[in-house]
Structure 1
Amino acid sequence: MTKKTQLHLNTNILKLKESATLAINLKARAARRNGDDICHLGFGQSPFHVHEKIQDELAKNAHQKDYLPTKGLPALCESIASYHNKRFSYQFDKDRILVGPGSKELIFQALYVLEGPVIVPAPSWVSYGPQLNIKGREIDPVITKSENAYKMTAKELEEACERHLDEEQKVLIFNSPSNPTGAVYTEEEIKELTKVCRKHNVIVIADEIYALINYSGEDFPSFHQHYPEGTLVSSGLSKSHAAGGYRLGFLYAPEGMESVIKCLSAMISETFSAVSAPIQYAAVKAYSIDNDIDNYIRTCTRVHEVCGNYLHDRFKNMGLSCSHPKGAFYLFPDFGSFKEKLKSKNIHNDVELSEFIFENYKVALLPGSDFYFPKDAMAVRVASVDYEGENVYKEASLKDSDSLDYSFVEANCPQLKKACDRLEEFLNTL
């Protein structure tokens, strides 16, 4: 009999579970392969095609095989800086940009480098907490309120900072537009948060992966504009350009944070070395001011907006509490008003609720507790992207903004309508 090898593993890693968003995607896709008609509202992947110009650049550069500089292809760093300076009136310096395999990896490495307690508004993206757990630390979640569209207030941030007065430096992870709520902070709200950050020496990691998917009606406001000296900015191609599988993101560090750039450059050199060369060359085109690509992003955003509005109104009409999304492609409805009635089906928390709906009504949702929200709030995260992106894009590109209405959603995104019908059917049984 072969003797088994004794393994001693990192206990921080042993405590981790698979990312909730990736896990629900695998579960829903497996159920579909088995013939189940699943309404997949659990996974936030943009369903649209990658723009043809970006695909062409990738094909043209398939021969690029050399290792690129650790910080990224110089032409790409310059393109990223120029794009954001023109699009958002930023003041990016190309020499302060680091390119990585998705913003997710770069946020992880930034968290590994930075010391101090990490404050995260709750609900927030599922991976922030586990990334810090790998370091042997815990996030400090700030539970936000539905009446404020789940946006953290300056007072709530102040209270969180006061819990860590003995720490010289604090870190805030800030995501707007928000996953999982679709909330977009106003310029005034960010200005108020900035005052607290300066007072308590808070380093902000501004996760702006959805910055281009903003339909709030206002220009996108950023910490970089009001607190440049203390803000790291991360973003990438996955959401706005529907290129999640390209794994291309960047991190910007401001003047005065040369030590952060130096540390991250060293970590990159000892870990992933550099992002795939053909992808970086293709990304130069993605981050160019190009009318065709700009129109593509606008059309995709119009679809995200009408789908978010449709789901919001359907949820409200069936008696759920749900703040109105202003960006990204998520909503965060809660079943709190049905809490007593849900007990009759032996449903006492958001995990049991999500599992019951998946098993009995074939709608995939994620429990709010995966996003650091209390289980008994009975909240769930909904992604509004269960449709055939290429076909929907073609239909939307033929219409003006006013004609993208709820009839468009029901005709072109039938799984969204079906999901709402099933949830309504479920609630009618209570």
Structure 2
Amino acid sequence: MIKLAERVQTLTPSTTLAITAKANELKAQGVDIIGLGAGEPDYNTPENIIEAAYRSMKEGKTKYTPAGGLPALKEAIINKLERDQGLAYKPNEIMVGIGAKHVLYTLFQVLLNEGDEVIIPIPYWVSYPEQVKLAEGVPVYIEATAGQQYKITPQQLKEAITERTKAVIINSPSNPTGMIYSKEELQELAEVCREKDILIVSDEIYEKLIYGDTVHTSIAELSEDAKNRTIIINGVSKSHSMTGWRIGYAAGDSALIKAMTDLASHSTSNPTTTSQYAAIEAYNGTQDAVEEMRQAFESRLETIFPKVEAIPGFTVIRPQGAFYLLPDVAEAAEKTGYSSVDEFVEGLLTEANVAVIPGSGFGAPSTIRLSYATSLEALTEAVERIHKFVTSKWKE
């Protein structure tokens, strides 16, 4: 009998994938399921990007590239960081990988030794703790409550740091909360990191999807010290609707970038060549489609937020970015006869035919995550089903 490595036996299965699989199974049986679990834009990749990819293939650009990415793509990323954040990087401070997720995985593999701690705010993106554990690190959690707008405080960060702390993860805009740290909040967190001499992993994958008067600030912008201790993680998946192309990048300390590149050379050889040429066009070409998509998400948020807020037993904070709502539904679950939110989610799927993601996968078990990366018609119908489901089962 095959004995698996201990490192994989500690992994928590993806709640998102489990719900999606069950929803797809019901759909295959002919059930009219509306899925609100999507972690990707519902738009196709912009035409100019597709054309650039096709053109590169026709020109014979289908061979290996440098392990850390094409020089032209690195230059496009450098220009993007200068244009959007006013940050200056050199090619040896950029590593391109197979999506931001794999870039993060590679980062933790080269950064952490056994027992090293990484501070992870709750709610968190599902893969952060698992990737830290796979690198033999230890996730250390800080709960950012709804009263804090789901953002950690400098005091919380200070109290969580020990002699084993290697880094803290800042995800802004956040998956799953949609909240964004202000420049002032980031300055206070950066000062704690300076005092305690720890690294900052700044996940900025949703930076282009922000709403209202909110402004996205990268923590690396704040000072030379903040830039030197920050590893920016970003990519084209969310901003340019390119989830399947799998292109992400890291920007930061050259020694760390070299180690990540060396590891990639033995694990992936290089990011997919065609996808890299597509990403060059994504960053160098017109950004009209990016803004069009952002406006569509904002319009959906304006329409759907008050409808979700009106569901009995739902308490929800208006997100500032990304494309998720994270309502606390503990009261709704209790009043409708469920012993947990996970069971409530199961009921929504099998009885109301709406698939949502339980917050337990994000470290927030009293919540659910609703994605509005789907049509307004589907969103409206789904929320109406949820509302009807709750009111029909409500017991005082």
When the two structures are superposed, what TM-score results if normalisation uses the length of structure 2? 0.93
Instruction: Give 5+ residue unaligned stretches, structure 2.
Output: none
Letter in 1 for 2:246: R
Amino acid at match of 1:214: I
1:287 partner SS: helix
Identify which of 266, 288, 300 aligns with 1:270. 266
Match of 2:98 among 82, 97, 101: 101
Q: CA RMSD in A?
A: 1.6
Paired residues of 2:334 and 2:340 also in contact (CA < 8 A) = no
The separation in 2 between residues aligned to 1:13 and 1:340, in whole angstroms, is 35
Q: Is the 8 A contact 2:53 2:278 kept in 1?
A: yes
Q: CA deviation at 1:26?
A: 2.9
1:330 and 2:324 aligned: yes
Aligned pair count reads: 384
State the distance in 1 between where 2:317 and 2:124 align. Answer: 15
Q: Distance in 1 between matches of 2:136 and 2:166?
A: 16
In the other structure, the counterpart of 1:297 is 290
Q: Which of 310, 334, 358 is matched with 2:303 structurally?
A: 310
The whole-number CA distance in structure 1 between the counterparts of 2:86 and 2:19 is 38
Q: What is the identity, as a one-letter code, of the residue corresponding to 1:95? A: N
The equivalent of 2:230 in structure 1 is 231
User: 2:213 and 2:290 mapped to 1: Cα distance?
Assistant: 16
Task: Quote how far apart the aligned CAs of 1:95 are.
Answer: 2.6
Which residue of structure 1 aligns with residue 345 of structure 2? 354
1:44 alignment counterpart: 39
Distance 1:350 1:173, change over 3 A: same
SS in 2 for 1:174: strand
| Distance apart, 1:52 and its partner CA | 0.7
Cα drift, residue 363 of structure 1: 1.0
Contact 2:42 2:373 in 1 (8 A): yes
Structure 1 residues 305-347: Cα deviation after superposition (integer angstroms, max 9, x where no partner): 12223332112122311110111101100113335423xx2x1
- TM-score in terms of structure 1 length: 0.86
Q: Does 1:371 align with 2:362?
A: yes
Q: Distance in 1 between matches of 2:79 and 2:219?
A: 18
Looking at structure 1, the residues matched to 344 and 373 of structure 2 have their Cα atoms a distance apart, in angstroms, of: 21
> What displacement does 1:31 show?
2.1
1:428 alignment partner, one of 363, 378, 391: 391
2:48 to 47, 53, 59: 53
Deviation (angstroms), 1:262: 2.3
| Partner-residue secondary structure (3-state), 1:98 | strand
SS at match of 1:61: helix
1:384 equivalent in structure 2: 372
Which whole-Å CA distance do the structure 2 matches of 1:262 and 1:339 have between them? 49
After the TM superposition, which residues 169-318 of structure 1 pair with which residues of structure 2 at under 5 Å, given as runs?
Answer: 169-226=165-222, 227-253=226-252, 257-288=253-284, 290=285, 293-318=286-311
Q: Distance in 2 between matches of 1:94 and 1:208?
A: 19
Which one-letter code corresponds to 2:381 in the other structure?
Answer: K
| Aligned-pair CA distance for 1:266 | 1.4
CA distance in 2, matches of 1:235, 1:23: 26
Alignment check: 8 A CA contact 1:149 1:324 kept: no
Moved more, 276-285 or 23-32: 23-32
Residue 85 of structure 2 aligns with which residue? 88
Q: Distance in 2 between matches of 1:177 and 1:299?
A: 19
> CA deviation digits over 1:107-133, x for unaligned, max 9?
011111223311111101111111122
The answer to whether residue 147 in structure 2 is matched with residue 153 in structure 1 is no
CA deviation digits over 1:276-299, x for unaligned, max 9?
1111112111111x4xx3221111
The equivalent of 1:406 in structure 2 is none
Residues 38 and 362 in structure 1, CA contact (< 8 A), matched pair in contact too: yes
Which runs of 4 or more aligned residues in structure 1 lie more than 6 Å from their structure 2 counterparts after TM superposition? none
CA deviation vs aligned residue, 1:225-244 (integer Å, no higher than 9, x gap): 02101100011111111110
Hey, what's the Cα distance between the residues in 1 that align with 2:177 and 2:194?
Answer: 27
Contact persistence 2:176–2:326 (CA under 8 A): yes
Q: Distance in 1 between matches of 2:50 and 2:231?
A: 29
Q: Which residue of 2 aligns with 1:34?
A: 29
